[in-house]
Amino acid sequence: MTSTAPSTATPAPRYTHTAMLLHWVLGLALVGLFAVGLYMTSLPFSPQRLKLYNWHKWAGVTLLALSALRLVWRLVHRPPALPAKVQQAMPGWQKLAHHATHYLLYALFFAVPLIGWAYSSAAGFPIVFLGVWQLPDLVPVSESLAEAIKPWHQVTAYALAGMVVLHIAAALKHHFIDRDGLLARMLP
C-alpha cells in the first residue's frame, strides 16, 4: 500500500469568475472579429459586404463596451499577483514584457474600435447598432479626415492581433514548457 503525502504547495491565486468570463469572451470575439474584418475587406462591393461591415461595426461597439466593463472590473478587483515561484524564475525582461503586453492590449482594446468608429463617422457611414440605435458621430464627415484615419484602424487592428498572438504564445509557454500553473489561474 502506497501512501501519498499531502501536498504542501499552495495553489496559485486565481482570477475571479467574472474576470475569466470577460477574458475568454473578449479574446474569442477579438479573434472572430479580426477574421471577419479580413474576409469582408476582400469581398467585392455587394449586399453581403455591406451586411458584414454593419455586423463588424456592431461587434466593434460591443467589444468596446465589454472592454470598458473589463477595465472597470480589473480596477475594482485587482488581479492576483504572479506566484512567488514564477516571479523568481522570470527574468527581468519577461516581467517587463508581461506588464507591457497587458497595458498595450488594454490600450488597443479601446483604440481599435474607437478609430474604426471615427473612420466610419468621417466617411459618412453612421453606426446604427443592431439596426436600431444610431450612435453619435465621433468626428464630422470629412473625406480627407476619413482617408487619414482609415489606415490607422488597420494598423491598430494588426497590432492588436499581434499582441493577442504574443499573449497566447506566452500563456502556452508557461503551460507546456515552464509548467508553472500560470495558465490555470485563468481557466474556469
pLDDT tens sequence across 54-68: 999 999 999 999 999
Buried b (16+ CB within 10 A) or exposed e, 106-144: eebbebbbbbbbbbbbbbebebeeeeeeeeebbeeeeee
Is residue 9 scored above 80 in pLDDT? no
The CATH number linked to 151 is 1.20.950.20
Provide the pLDDT for residue 83: 87
Res 55: pLDDT:
95
Specify if 1 maps to a domain.
Answer: no
Asked, for residue 179, whether it belongs to a domain, the answer is yes
| The total number of structural domains that make up the chain | 1
For the entire predicted model, the pTM comes to: 0.89
The whole domain housing 101 covers: 17-78+91-186
Residue 36: inside a domain: yes
